[in-house]
Amino acid sequence: MPRLANPFAVPGQWFRGNLHVHTTNSDGAMPPEKLVAHYAYAGWDFIALTDHWKVTELPAPSPVTAGITVIPGIEVGTAPGSTEAGTNYHIVGINVQEAPPRREAQNGAAAAQWYVDAIREQGGEATIAHPYWSGLTLRDVATVCGHLAIEVYNTDTEVHIGRGNSQMLWDDLLSHGIPTLAVAVDDCHRPGQDSLRAWTVVRAPDRSPAAIMAALRAGHFYASTGPEIYDVQLALNGEGSERPYAGTVTVRCGPARSISLVADPTRGGRLNAGTFGMARNARRLKPAGQNPQGIVDGELLTGAEFTLAGIERYARIQVEDDRGRCAWTNPLFMRTGE
């Protein structure tokens, strides 16, 4: 079961990385050393090389790639017909040393589970790749456990056929009380077309592979295709109160056209930018420190305070900028088994 944690409440630095890419060792267009340099030039802090069925040898460090941490990885897939839609699962392994053997005979979620377990037995972590592209249903994903996260956003499948955003399935899982974390990745095959558009930001003491893996395992990360989230603070009334789960959530972020508190069906809140922007269970926070009487950054938002009624079963924060790009925090809490 994934750890629910608030990465904004722990010490460390933010490191941006991509946990899913392909090189010429599978169906990617760029050799490993060039692809790592591509991400290093763009300022990325870490990258996991996840070729299909092959753990790509990490390229020798160069002056260009000295600033980026490279983690070995892999992408495997179950046999066709493994899912309710008749497709197959793709499972990404991060921090693995060797390819798990193929399990053609096993089918269904059991096959996906076998790969998740095989990746974790090596000390790696598994993510469920591009659920929307794969056509994965709630049942397909809910029957697998032990994975680190699902991909809430996958650039390659978005630019290919517009099936990169798996947000609805994520909320379906959370609404059914299944604690699930989410990463955003490029799944880069053709740098320039499907690179540098989605990332996962981890909060860690340094960018060593061990520190990044530990931060991922602790749930100290959020996903983005653009916006930055600076701070999220959850203040619940707590035990002893009449409504222990009532309280507030405060968000500080880069310029946004909306900030949402996404919760279970019909609940939650949202703040929209603009003079007539709707606000539900939310109020606008003025930019910290400057111009306390007015609003800077034009019409865009930089902060929100949400009210929790105390009946929400989970809540996560979602920030959308004026180009439609999103940032997603992991669920701030979950109430299960009540």
- Ramachandran category for residue 95: left, alpha or beta (phi over 0 → left; psi -120 to 50 → alpha): left
Pick 75 or 305: Cβ nearer Zn ion: 75
**How far is the CA of 181 from the CAs of 33, 185, 216, 258, 301, in angstroms?**
30, 13, 10, 22, 26
CB 73 within 8 A of CB 92: yes
Pick 188 or 301: Cβ nearer Zn ion: 188
What residue is closest to Zn ion based on CB?
187
Stretch that binds Zn ion, among 187-195, 231-239, 270-278, 321-329 (CB under 5 A): 187-195
The residue count for binding Zn ion (CB under 5 A) is 2
Q: What is the DSSP letter of 123?
A: T
Pick 75 or 264: Cβ nearer Zn ion: 75
Q: What is the DSSP letter of 331?
A: P
Least Cβ distance, residue 46 to Zn ion (angstroms): 17
What string marks each residue from 55 to 94 as x (binds Zn ion by CB under 5 A) or -?
--------------------x-------------------
How far is Cα 75 from Cα 129, in angstroms, rounded to an integer? 9
Pick from 264, 248, 251: which is nearest to 311 by CA?
Answer: 264
Spatial strand order of the sheet with 229-236 comes to: 229-236, 246-256, 301-309, 282-284
**3-class SS at 68?**
coil
CB 177 within 8 A of CB 184: no
Looking at the chain, the number of H-run helices and the number of E-run strands are: 7, 19
Pick 186 or 320: Cβ nearer Zn ion: 186
Pick 164 or 219: Cβ nearer Zn ion: 164
Q: CA triplet 42, 325, 44: central angle to 5 degrees? A: 20
Pick 27 or 84: Cβ nearer Zn ion: 27
Interface with Zn ion, residue 140, by CB under 5 A: no
Least Cβ distance, residue 187 to Zn ion (angstroms): 4
**3-class SS at 209?**
helix
Pick 194 or 321: Cβ nearer Zn ion: 194
Least Cβ distance, residue 24 to Zn ion (angstroms): 14
Least Cβ distance, residue 260 to Zn ion (angstroms): 28
**CB atoms near residue 10 (< 10 Å):** 14
Least Cβ distance, residue 95 to Zn ion (angstroms): 16
Q: What is the DSSP letter of 194?
A: S
CB 333 within 8 A of CB 4: yes
Least Cβ distance, residue 76 to Zn ion (angstroms): 10
- Which pair of structure tokens corresponds to residue 69? 């941490």
Least Cβ distance, residue 135 to Zn ion (angstroms): 16
Stretch that binds Zn ion, among 26-34, 179-187, 198-206, 266-274 (CB under 5 A): 179-187
Interface with Zn ion, residue 187, by CB under 5 A: yes
- Which pair of structure tokens corresponds to residue 164? 């990169």
Least Cβ distance, residue 256 to Zn ion (angstroms): 29
Interface with Zn ion, residue 321, by CB under 5 A: no
Pick 125 or 187: Cβ nearer Zn ion: 187
Least Cβ distance, residue 75 to Zn ion (angstroms): 5
Contacts with Zn ion, residue ranges (CB under 5 A): 75, 187
